[in-house]
Amino acid sequence: MECIFGLVGDGFALVVTDTSQVQSIVVQKTNEDKIMILDSHKLLGVTGESGDRVQFSEYIQKNILLYQYRNGIPLSTSAAANFTRGELATALRKNPYEVNMMIAGWDKDQGPSLYYLDYISTLHKVEKGGMGYGAYFLLSLMDRYYEKNMSLEKALELVDMCIEEVRSRLVVSPPNFIIKIVDKDGARELAWRRTVEDKQGPPSAAAPIASPMAEDVSV
């Protein structure tokens, strides 16, 4: 089941999501990037109904860029988060998007920040947070090991602990995760944590598996 979390460290913020695309009981792909880079210093991690996820995050990204082109200055992280909440809240009582989000950003004066925004548009600024079934394990783990202004090295250690916990304790755990970072140098992909690779091409394209029967014949 889908899992998203994030935390703020010393001069940076991290957003982590799983990368599974699931339809009913079938895992369709395991390398779906669910963290959108909104602009040079903003990340939008989104989980939820996959159609809504793509539509809504693209709508937000395009409108934030439009604001930037019109006014010549980028939105601050808090402004972008509040804009996103506004759009989600307006939609809530018309045709709601079923999406949960973690918004991370870095501003010159504010430094890094992280916002929690759920599918009914509850917006809250947090230092650490998570959503979905994974959050049942992650929140307590982060309460125990999170420190204010932790270094990137320590933060990644914590992220790995979280991923390990989800993989080992959650029945419906996703196999792969993506970690993105935003700091003074911008928003970018930091790392993947994979346990399975997507197969390339149809099964027939893979090297044929030698059958024990064939081996018998050759002997």
Partner 1 sequence: MSITSYNGSALIAMVGKNCFAIASDRRLGVNFQTIACDFQRIFKIHDKLYIGLSGLATDVQTMHQRLQFRHKLYQLREERNMRPETFASLVSAILYEKRFGPYFCEPIIAGLNDDGTPFICTTDLIGAKQLAKDFVVSGTASESLYGACESMYKPDLGPDELFEVISQALLASVDRDCISGWGGIVHVVTPDQVITKTLKGRMD
* Rounded least distance, CB 123 to partner 1, Å: 6
Nearer residue to partner 1 within complex by CB, 147 or 189 = 147
* Rounded least distance, CB 204 to partner 1, Å: 46
* Rounded least distance, CB 162 to partner 1, Å: 16
Nearer residue to partner 1 within complex by CB, 41 or 85 = 85
Cβ pair 104, 114 in contact under 8 A: yes
- Other CB atoms within a 10 A radius of the CB of residue 185 amount to 12
Q: Which pair of tokens denotes residue 39?
A: 């602009």
* Rounded least distance, CB 155 to partner 1, Å: 19
- Residue carrying structure tokens 């018998």: 216
- Residue carrying structure tokens 């963290």: 35
Going along 1-82, which residue ranges are E strands? 3-8, 12-18, 21-23, 26-29, 35-39, 42-48
128's enclosing H/E stretch is: strand 128-132
Nearer residue to partner 1 within complex by CB, 22 or 139 = 139
Cβ pair 180, 188 in contact under 8 A: yes
* Rounded least distance, CB 189 to partner 1, Å: 27
* Rounded least distance, CB 173 to partner 1, Å: 19
Cβ pair 188, 106 in contact under 8 A: no
* Rounded least distance, CB 216 to partner 1, Å: 58
Nearer residue to partner 1 within complex by CB, 27 or 92 = 92
Q: Which residues contact 73 (CB under 8 A, 6 or more apart)?
A: none
Nearer residue to partner 1 within complex by CB, 19 or 97 = 97
Does the CA dihedral 74-77-83-84 come out positive or negative? positive
Nearer residue to partner 1 within complex by CB, 35 or 123 = 123
Residues interacting with partner 1, by CB under 8 A?
85, 89, 92-93, 116, 118, 120-124, 126, 129, 135-136, 139
Residue 202, φ and ψ in degrees, nearest 5: -70, 160
Residue 109, φ and ψ in degrees, nearest 5: -90, -30
